[in-house]
Homo-oligomer: A and B are copies of this chain.
Amino acid sequence: MKPFAEMTKEELQALRKELAVKYREYQGKDLRLDMSRGKPSVDQLDLSMGMMDVLTSDMDLTCDDGTDCRNYGVLDGISEAKELLGDMMEVAPDHIIIYGNSSLNVMYDTVSRSMTNGVMGNTPWCRLDKVKFLCPVPGYDRHFAITEYFGIEMVNVPMTSDGPDMDMVEELVARDESIKGIWCVPKYSNPQGISYSDQTVRRFARLKPAASDFRIYWDNAYTIHHLYDLDQDHLIEILAECKRAGNPDLVYKFASTSKISFPGSGIAAIAASQNNLVDIRKQLRIQTIGHDKVNQLRHVRFFDGIHGMVEHMRLHADILRPKFEAVNRILTEELDGLGIGSWTMPKGGYFMAFDSMDGCAKAIVAKCKKAGLVMTGAGATYPYGKDPHDSNIRIAPSYPPLKDLEMAMELFALCVKLVSIDRLLAGMKE
């Protein structure tokens, strides 16, 4: 098939008629397909069922240092868990604080603490007239929701294939003291699956922000979430790079086991410089006596070190890889060369991003929904839900079984075609 833009009005109308018949067939199937969130599938959850057996009533729940994991205490996590998550996050255990079940919660609390009590002695943000965050776009809706909740103004920074536009980042943080942070998913980014290039990471570590309380919010959510065994993206470790660049306090790094063990029942962590950790602990000891050490111990015993965790991630990859490849295959078969969309095929993470013709994303997602396929809302990948081009759609291949996913993507491609034709026809009228 030739590019839609090269078709005549008549050709488009004829094609539209044909595709509309197919669409009605889908509507008749009473589908209920959900690709809205990056949820692991049931198969993936089954991989971690052994978590339920590693601690039993006849066992000693004592740490190496003699801590009884069942009782109060240990503010920043048992040392075994710090070692495991340190290995996962590529930082030394003493740069880690282990939290509860959600890195999102850690990020929220980090912004919240900065609002009420400031960062390392700086003025609390709630006392400033204006606080801004840079938001590489497209990005993660839950990041944007946090900054929006606190009334922080979000400034879009376009993503490139190397990560955020660093010329823009450098310039903005250097001249605007009200810019206090930037949201980053540096590896297998949400939603594009882009990993920041070495240059990008180095430029991040060398930033010279006007605000001394500016921090990079480095949400390394997919640090070991590869699809392939050898063909993996590699990221320069940001804490060490910041230290080398003379900016040791510039970054907060976040991660969790949510997509390694069980979402909602994993363990999360922050990694940062000692100065930052001292600052964080001052608040943390007011907020809690300590997080769930029994669950920390459960993770330590189940994974038995980073190698066990990496082997476990291979099993996840074996389930996820065919799904990502199916999405890529179907999009290629259905849409390649038509000039009505482009997409990413990442080597890890949980998402792919589809870019339609401008002004089509909302209509495509709506059309999918009317046939029983729920995609992430169009616009969700932009601050305030406003995609200026109305073109970005996040694809989350993980949750549906492969057969459902294939049907969903065929339907999706069909909707892309239909909406694109409508758009082109509307343009011809004008």
Contacts and interface: CB of A to CB of B under 8 A. Distances in A.
Interface of A: 37, 39-40, 42, 45, 48-53, 55-57, 59, 61, 68-74, 100-102, 104-105, 108-109, 112, 115-117, 124, 126-127, 142, 145-146, 149-150, 258, 262-265, 283, 286-295
Contacts of A142: 286, 289
12 contacts: A45-B68, A72-B258, A100-B100, A108-B286, A108-B287, A108-B288, A112-B116, A117-B149, A145-B286, A146-B286, A264-B293, A265-B293
B289 A102 contact: yes
Given A71-B39, A294-B262, A287 B105 contact: yes
Count of chain copies? 2
Nearest to A49: B57
A183 to B, nearest CB: 14
A121 to B, nearest CB: 15
A286 B149 contact: yes
Contacts of A263: 70-72, 289
A294 B295 CA distance: 10
Minimum-distance CB pairs A-B, first 9: A126-B126, A49-B57, A265-B294, A72-B263, A108-B287, A45-B70, A149-B286, A70-B262, A105-B288
Given A115-B126, A116-B150, A149-B286, 19 more contacts: A37-B72, A42-B68, A45-B70, A52-B57, A69-B264, A72-B258, A72-B264, A74-B264, A100-B100, A100-B291, A105-B287, A108-B287, A112-B112, A116-B116, A145-B286, A263-B289, A264-B289, A264-B291, A264-B292
Contacts of A258: 72
Contacts of A73: 39, 264
Contacts of A127: 126
